[in-house]
C-alpha cells in the first residue's frame, strides 16, 4: 500500500518517527499527515501542480531535525534596522525569547505552547502542507485584537546548520487579525549552509481587518525553501502581500487565498530574481467565494544564466461570487539565452457577472534602451542594472511601508551587484 519512497521521503518519515513523541499538538492529525505522506511521498513532475518544479535535487540529502538550540546560541541574528519594528526570531526553526516589547493589542504565544494543527487543503494532497503538519515543531501564534493597529512586526527566520549537516526546519505560524485590526508583518528568511526551510503561515482576517505582509526570502545558495501561506479573508478585509525572493537553490512558495466574505480583497506583488542554476516557483491559488471581492496579482521574474522561474496562478470564481474583479499579470525578463520561465495562468469561472483577466510577457532587456544609456556615458553593466531595477520598480512601488520598501530595494541592489561580479 505504501508508495516506493525515495530517500528524502524516507528521511522525513524517519525524522517524524524519531521526534513524534516530542512534537506539540494533536498526534492524530500528525499521524494522518504521516499516513498521507507515506502513501504519496514527494510529488514528481508527472503531477500537474509540480510539472515545472522537479524535486530530485532533494535526493542527495537527508535533512535532520536540528539539535535543539545547539547552533543557535553561537550565532547572532543579522543586524536589522531597529526602525523596522519589534522582532520575533526563529533560529533553526526554534523561537528565541518570544517576548519582544510588543505594542498593545497583540497577543503572542508560541506554537509549542498553543499548537493548533489542521490541514487547510480540502481533500487534496498538498506536499508542502503535509510535510509541515507532520513535522512542525515551533512557530508564532499571533493575534491582533479588535480595532487595534499593531503597526509593524518583524518575523525573522534564520538557519545555521552545523558544518556538513543538512537540517530541516518546519515552522508553523498562525496570524489572526480580529475585526478592524491592522498589522504590517515583515518576514525575513535567511541563513547559511544547507537546509530545507518549510514554513507554513496560516492567516485569518476578520471583517474589515488589514494585513500588509512583506517578505524578503534571501536563503543561502544551498538552501531549499518549500513554503506556503494559507489565508482566509473576511468581509471588507484586505490582505496585501509583497514577496521578494532572491535565495535558495530551489524554492517554491504557494499562496492559497480564500476570499470568503463580500468585498474581501487580496493584492499580491512578487519579484523573484534568479541566477546560476537557481529554480524559483511561485504558485498561487485564489478562490473568490463571495460577491464583490477583488484580487490583483503582479509577479515579476528576472532570470539570468541557467536559472529557471515558474509562475502558476489559478483564480477560481465560485458560483455566486458576482462582481468579482480578478487580475493577474506575470512578467519575466530573461537576461541570458539559457534562462527559462514557465508561466501557467488558469481561470475557472462559475459566476456570470465577473471581470477577470490575466496576461504574461517575456522579454529581454531592450538593446535600444541599453544603447541610449551608454550613449549618455553610463557603462554597460550599470545600464543593465538600471533597466533591471526599472523593471522591478513598478512592483516595488506598491509596498506602502517605506522602511520595508527601502529594505527590498537594498536587497535588489545587493543581488545585482552579485551578478555584476
Q: Is 369 a binder of other proteins (CB under 8 A)? A: yes
349 part of the interface to other proteins, by CB under 8 A: no
Residue with Cβ nearer other proteins (356 or 386)? 386
Q: What are phi and psi of 323, to 5 degrees?
A: 55, 30
* Contact call for residue 380 and other proteins (CB under 8 A): yes
Question: Does residue 353 interact with other proteins by CB under 8 A?
Answer: no
DSSP string, 164-194: T--EEE-BEEEEEE-TT-EEEEEEEEEESSS
Instruction: List the one residue from 391, 408, 411, 415 that touches other proteins (CB under 8 A).
Output: 391
CA distance 337 to 322: 43
- The residue within the footprint of other proteins, chosen from 18, 67, 390, 420 (CB under 8 A), is 390
**For other proteins, which residue of 2, 379, 410, 414 counts as binding (CB under 8 A)?**
379
Residue 41 has which C-alpha cell? 511521498
Looking at beta carbons only, is 5 or 373 nearer to other proteins? 373
Q: Which is nearer to other proteins, 93 or 269 (CB)?
A: 269
Binding flag, residue 413, other proteins (CB under 8 A): no
Beta strands in 111-264 (DSSP E): 140-144, 149-159, 167-169, 172-177, 182-191, 195-197, 200-205, 210-218, 224-233, 238-245, 250-259
Give the distance from CA 372 to its chain's centroid.
37
Nearer Cβ to other proteins (280/385): 385
CB nearer to other proteins: give 177 or 411: 411
Q: What is the DSSP letter of 123?
A: S
Segment contacting other proteins by CB under 8 A, of 32-40, 92-100, 159-167, 369-377: 369-377
Of 27-35, 78-86, 334-342, 386-394, which segment contacts other proteins by CB under 8 A?
Answer: 386-394
Q: Find the helix or strand (DSSP H, E) in which 354 lies.
A: strand 354-363
CB atoms within 10 A of CB 203: 24
Considering the rule CB under 8 A, would residue 46 count as an interface residue with other proteins? Answer: no
User: In this complex, which beta carbon is closest to other proteins, that of residue 342 or of residue 382?
Assistant: 382
Report how many residues bind other proteins under the rule CB under 8 A.
Answer: 23
Cell numbers placing 267: 493584492
Among 280, 268, 224, residue whose Cα is nearest residue 243: 268
Which residues on neighbouring strands pair with residue 281, listed in sequence order? Answer: 252, 310
264 Rama class: left (phi>0) / alpha (psi -120 to 50) / beta: beta
Interface with other proteins includes 382 (CB under 8 A)?
Answer: yes
Q: Provide the minimum distance between the beta carbon of 417 and other proteins in the complex, in angstroms, as a whole number.
A: 16
Instruction: Closer to other proteins by CB, 110 or 331: give it.
Output: 331
- The verdict on 364 binding other proteins (CB under 8 A) reads no
Nearest distance in Å: CB 29, other proteins:
47
376 binds other proteins, rule: CB under 8 A: yes
Q: Distances from the Cα of 3 to the Cαs of 175, 253, 383, in angstroms?
A: 35, 25, 52
Which residue, 380 or 413, is less far from other proteins as judged by CB?
Answer: 380
Question: Residue 251, by phi and psi: left (phi above 0), alpha (psi -120 to 50) or beta?
Answer: beta
List of residues contacting other proteins (CB under 8 A): 366-369, 371-380, 382, 386-387, 389-394
Amino acid at each position: 500500500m505504501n508508495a516506493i519512497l525515495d530517500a528524502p521521503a524516507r528521511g522525513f518519515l524517519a525524522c517524524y518517527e524519531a521526534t513524534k513523541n516530542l512534537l506539540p499538538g494533536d498526534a492524530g492529525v500528525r499521524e494522518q499527515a504521516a499516513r498521507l505522506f507515506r502513501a504519496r511521498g514527494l510529488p514528481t513532475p508527472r503531477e500537474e501542480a509540480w510539472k515545472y518544479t522537479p524535486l530530485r535535487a532533494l535526493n542527495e540529502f537527508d535533512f535532520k531535525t536540528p539539535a535543539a538550540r545547539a547552533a543557535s546560541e553561537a550565532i547572532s541574528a543579522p543586524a536589522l534596522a531597529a526602525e523596522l519594528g519589534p522582532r520575533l526570531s526563529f533560529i533553526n526553526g526554534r523561537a528565541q525569547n518570544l517576548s519582544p516589547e510588543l505594542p498593545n493589542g497583540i497577543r503572542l504565544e508560541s506554537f509549542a505552547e498553543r499548537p493548533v494543527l489542521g490541514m487547510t487543503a480540502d481533500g487534496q494532497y498538498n506536499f508542502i502542507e503535509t510535510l509541515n503538519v507532520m513535522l512542525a515543531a515551533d512557530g508564532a501564534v499571533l493575534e491582533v485584537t479588535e480595532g487595534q493597529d499593531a503597526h509593524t512586526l518583524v518575523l525573522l527566520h534564520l538557519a545555521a546548520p552545523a558544518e556538513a549537516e543538512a537540517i530541516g526546519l518546519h515552522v508553523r505560524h498562525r496570524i489572526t487579525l480580529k475585526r478592524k485590526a491592522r498589522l504590517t508583518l515583515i518576514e525575513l528568511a535567511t541563513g547559511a549552509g544547507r537546509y530545507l526551510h518549510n514554513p507554513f503561515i496560516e492567516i485569518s482576517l476578520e471583517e474589515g481587518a488589514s494585513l500588509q505582509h512583506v517578505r524578503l526570502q534571501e536563503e543561502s545558495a544551498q538552501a531549499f525553501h518549500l513554503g506556503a501561506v494559507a489565508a482566509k479573508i473576511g468581509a471588507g478585509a484586505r490582505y496585501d502581500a509583497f514577496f521578494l525572493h532572491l535565495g535558495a537553490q530551489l524554492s517554491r512558495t504557494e499562496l492559497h487565498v480564500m476570499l470568503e466574505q463580500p468585498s474581501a480583497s487580496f493584492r499580491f506583488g512578487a519579484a523573484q530574481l534568479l541566477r546560476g542554476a537557481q529554480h524559483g516557483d511561485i504558485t498561487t491559488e485564489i478562490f473568490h467565494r463571495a460577491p464583490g471581492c477583488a484580487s490583483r496579482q503582479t509577479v515579476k521574474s528576472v532570470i539570468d544564466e541557467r536559472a529557471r522561474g515558474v509562475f502558476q496562478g489559478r483564480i477560481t470564481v465560485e458560483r455566486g461570487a458576482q462582481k468579482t474583479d480578478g487580475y493577474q499579470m506575470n512578467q519575466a525578463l530573461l537576461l541570458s539565452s539559457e534562462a527559462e520561465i514557465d508561466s501557467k495562468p488558469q481561470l475557472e469561472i462559475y459566476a456570470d457577472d465577473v471581470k477577470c483577466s490575466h496576461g504574461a510577457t517575456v522579454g529581454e532587456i531592450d538593446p535600444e534602451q541599453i544603447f541610449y544609456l551608454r550613449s549618455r556615458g553610463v557603462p554597460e553593466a550599470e545600464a543593465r542594472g538600471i533597466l533591471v531595477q526599472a523593471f522591478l520598480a513598478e512592483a516595488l512601488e506598491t509596498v506602502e511601508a517605506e522602511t520595508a520598501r527601502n529594505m527590498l530595494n537594498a536587497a535588489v541592489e545587493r543581488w545585482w551587484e552579485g551578478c555584476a561580479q
